[in-house]
Amino acid sequence: MNTCPEHIVHYMHAYLDGDINRDEERQLNEHLDKCSACSEIMAGLSETVAFMELAKPVQAPEGFVEGVMQRLPKEKSQVGIRRWLRSHPLLAAAAMFLILMSASVFSSYGNDQQFSVSKQPNLIVEGETVIVPEGEVVRGDVIVKNGKLRVEGEVDGNIIVINGSKYMASTAVVTGTSEEIDRAFDWLWYKIKNTVKDVIPSSLKKEQPVEE
């Protein structure tokens, strides 16, 4: 082996690193063919490399990531809120919507304490009591806000009483549905339904409030 030129060992490594040119490779092969000592070294090196490549990757233990995160210095809380908003955009938008909606709806609920009734010619209004007279047919929906409704005749439509009470005589006939809305929640629901109905064109006639 001492007689072998030093560049041969160099070529062996160059070969293993994959940066050998054709001429060098030819010289290396020629030498290995006639020198058993060098071809033994070459075989040993190749085996070593092959053996190293048998090493399997080792996985980080469980909880590794959490461990790192715990070791990090604490971040500022302001960032936390911003990130929460960013990571839950829908939730944030919904919350914002609800806050604004309830503000406007509840304020109008408070302002809307006046007595009003839908305008039909044959309705009788006595104080805060609205009467559907016996023998008469009232066409269209009857809506009473902040007042009482007595039905003695016939209503060809729906009856809606908001913040009030309703009395149905034995002679009363209602072709549509009849609902009473008392609590703020019901009222909110009614408002939402109406908004939807307003947005989507429908045949529903708008109520026309009458001042007492």
Partner 1 sequence: MDELINKRINEVLKGDQSAFEEIVTLFQHRLYHVCFRMLSNRQEAEDIAQEAFVRAYMNIHTFDQKRKFSTWLFRIATNLCIDRIRKKKPDYYLDANVPGTEGLTMYSQIAADGELPEDVVERMETQERVQYEIGRLPDKYRSVIILRYLEELPLKEISDILELPLGTVKTRIHRGRGALRKQMGNL
C-beta closer to partner 1: residue 44 or 171 = 44
Nearer to partner 1, 13 or 193 (CB): 13
- Interface contacts to partner 1, rule CB under 8 A: 10, 13, 16-17, 41, 44-45, 47-49, 51-61, 64-65, 67-69, 71-73, 75-76, 79, 83
Do 190 and 162 touch, CB atoms closer than 8 A? yes
Q: How far apart are CB 77 and partner 1 at their closest, in Å?
A: 11
Angle at 33 between CA 30 and CA 39, to 5 degrees: 110
Which CB sits closer to partner 1, 69 or 199? 69
Cβ-based nearer residue to partner 1, 10 or 88 = 10
Both tokens assigned to 96: 């914002």
Smallest separation (angstroms) from partner 1 to the CB of 2:
16
**157: Cβ contacts below 8 Å, ≥ 6 apart:** 138, 139, 140, 141, 142, 175, 176
Half-sphere exposure at residue 186, Cβ-oriented, CA atoms within 13 angstroms: 10
**Nearest distance, CB of residue 201 and partner 1, angstroms:** 46
| Smaller CB separation from partner 1, 64 or 106 | 64
The string of DSSP letters for 103-134 reads HHHHHHHHH--S-EE---TT-EEETTEEEE-T
CB of 4 to partner 1, least distance (A): 15
* Closest approach of partner 1 to the CB of residue 32, in Å: 15
3-state helix, strand, coil in the chain (%, to 5): 45, 15, 35
